[in-house]
Amino acid sequence: MASNAAETLIGAVVLTAAAGFLVYAANTADVRVGGQGYELVAKFRKAEGIDVGGDVRIAGVKVGSISSMELDRKTYFATVTFTIDDDVTVPDDSLAKITSASLLGDSYIAIDPGASDLMLEPGEEVIYTQSSVSIGDLIGKFIHGADTN
């Protein structure tokens, strides 16, 4: 009888800990419910390091997330669709670039706002883009004697 009570108590502790983890995850996750934000599109020559669900940041602050990525079969560019928060406007001459949080960290899309008075409308394309830089490519160029002017 005592072992049943101990097993029940241990089970209750495990379930309480699991519930605590779920509450913590729900509070810290940045889950977006459909309908929040508007979509923009950008085309990159190389989109290495970013994935669907990745961050879109302005001045280091998360303002959106990557919705989809696909290959443009005519230009062979990566077409990236991302959602921006409704309360954030993006000038039409802004630069979207793929950058990394750290040397080994995840990459994200950083938007450098332009100076235009015209803002991008939902569904429009960010014309100015800068693709990701591969650390492997840089090391390979260094090892194999890249031009060091």
pLDDT of amino acid 30: 55
Q: How far apart are CA 31 and CA 25, in angstroms?
A: 10
pTM here is: 0.69
pLDDT of amino acid 125: 95
pLDDT of amino acid 64: 95
pLDDT of amino acid 78: 95
Around Cβ 32, how many Cβ atoms within 10 Å? Answer: 14
Q: How far apart are CA 67 and CA 87, in angstroms?
A: 18
pLDDT of amino acid 76: 95
pLDDT of amino acid 66: 95
CA 120, chain centre distance (Å): 19
pLDDT of amino acid 49: 86
**Low-confidence residues in the chain, pLDDT < 50:** 33-34
